[in-house]
Amino acid sequence: MASAQAVAGISSDCGDQSQFDALLLVAVSVSLATEQASIPASYRLYLPEIWASDPERRKQAGVPKEIRFQTKPEIALGQIRLLVAEGVPHGVVLADAGRGRNRSACTPP
């Protein structure tokens, strides 16, 4: 098993650190849903800023150079914009509580 230092994006940072003690990976995802079903449409690993700004760590874990730091709301908005550009029908957008506190994520593009 790879060490925590060599697994891309692994971090103990998950917002309120007092609630978490373990190392973890965080992903941002978008799913499309109807009354009958839900399917994942986009999924991306969140790369914490500490990882994005550490060239040696990135190299050890094989993080591509073109991957840059983005906040979770920025990743989610990018995923939604890509789905809209691909012609996915528009609908209601639901987000977890953390994104609800981010006013910029609530503003239409």
Range among 6-10, 14-18, 32-36 rated most confident = 32-36
**CA–CA gap between residue 13 and residue 49 (Å, rounded):** 10
Overall pTM > 0.75: no
Q: What is the pLDDT of residue 106?
A: 57
Contact by Cβ (8 Å): 28, 44: yes
Per-residue pLDDT band at 79 (split at 50, 70, 90)? very high
Number of domains present in the structure of the chain: 1
Mean pLDDT in the chain? 78
| 91 three-class SS | coil
Domain that holds residue 66: 4-106
Identify the residue whose tokens are 């007092």: 18
pLDDT of 69 > 90? The answer is: yes
